[in-house]
Structure 1
Amino acid sequence: MLYSQKVLDHFHNPHNHGEISSPSASAQVGNPVCGDIIKFDLEIGQRPKDDGSNESYIKDVKFQTMGCAAAISVSSVMTDMVIGQSLEQASQVSFEDIVKELDGLPPIKIHCAQLARECLLKAIEHYEESQ
């Protein structure tokens, strides 16, 4: 199975790995078939919008992943993609966007990107439900 250099870089040197001590929201998802487990902790901030209202945005995100190289890499790159994004913008990141950012994944590993997206959406949903 061939991985892109970006996948290997994120696997060997994952970005934003760890935990947030008091997260605004957390979520964990798993794939019972392959055994991958992804957990995201979000720190949500507020910032002014042009119209004078405030919007929620991802101030920080950390991940913990137990799984294959692809699962770790998609978690790492997704955190890079969503830090600083509004919750609305972050919710629009697709699994295809993640795969593209990594210069591709083997077809058998695409589910890892879907799992990371599912986890992020679940964490955002948990945050919005708590407000």
Structure 2
Amino acid sequence: MKIFQSQLLRHWESSFLYTSYRRYTPEVKDHFRDPRNVGSLDKSDPSVGTAIVGKAACGDVIKMQVKVKDGVICDAKFKTFGCGSAIASSSFATELIKGKTCDEAMKLKNTDISEQLKLPPVKIHCSLLAEDAIKYAIQDYYNKNNGNRENYNETIDSPSSS
């Protein structure tokens, strides 16, 4: 039995999945294994903004929601269909924006996420999706509230396509 376990362990350690997993930073692994703020808010609530963004090339999709009270993001939820980096980026992004004003959250850049998580270059697009999701969720909140804020389309430009 011990020989079999040893062979199995050697096989796992030499496998592509294990090698790929080992390359992730502890921060990514933490947010992937124990994602924060997973869930949904009531999208019919006027204080909630919702956005769904995705990238066809990799198949990642992020649904991001923000709840705003007195101009401050008091809650944020996400659901992500995608790789570990997409889940970690979404989870970390929700933590970054909670307690920030909408204006502060709109200034968040993907590099704030990718540098903290130490994402590899091939996974930077995950942090771009999280950035877009935040900005479009805040824009949706403003749109639901009779445009109480100027349209942020100029700030957002267009969804990141990198």
Per-residue deviation, 1:59: 0.7
Give the aligned partner of residue 131 of structure 2: 117
Once residues 77 and 116 of structure 2 are traced to their aligned partners in structure 1, the CA distance between those partners, rounded to angstroms, is 18
Q: Extract structure 1 runs of 4+ deviating beyond 4 A.
A: none
CA-to-partner distance for each residue in 1:56-91, whole Å, 9 max, x for gaps? 111100000000000000000000000010000011
**Letter of the structure 2 residue corresponding to residue 21 of structure 1:** D
Query: Of 50, 72, 76, which residue of structure 2 is paired with 1:61?
Result: 76
Give the aligned partner of residue 34 of structure 2: 13
Give 3-state SS (helix, strand or coil) of 1:34's partner.
coil
Once residues 79 and 32 of structure 1 are traced to their aligned partners in structure 2, the CA distance between those partners, rounded to angstroms, is 23
TM-score if structure 2 supplies the norm length?
0.72
How is 1:1-131 mapped onto 2 (pairs within 5 angstroms)?
A: 1=20, 2-22=23-43, 23=45, 24-46=48-70, 56-102=71-117, 104-131=118-145
Give 3-state SS (helix, strand or coil) of 2:32's partner.
helix
Once residues 26 and 95 of structure 1 are traced to their aligned partners in structure 2, the CA distance between those partners, rounded to angstroms, is 19
CA-to-partner distance for each residue in 1:30-69, whole Å, 9 max, x for gaps? 10000000001111101xxxxxxxxx11110000000000
Query: Which structure carries more strand by proportion?
Result: 1
TM-score if structure 1 supplies the norm length?
0.89
What value does the CA root-mean-square deviation take over the aligned residues? 1.0
Q: Which has the larger radius of gyration?
A: 2
- Of structures 1 and 2, the one scoring higher in RCO (CA 8 A, sep 6+) is 1
Unaligned runs of 5+ in 2: 1-19, 146-162
**Letter of the structure 2 residue corresponding to residue 28 of structure 1:** I
Percent identity over the alignment is 37
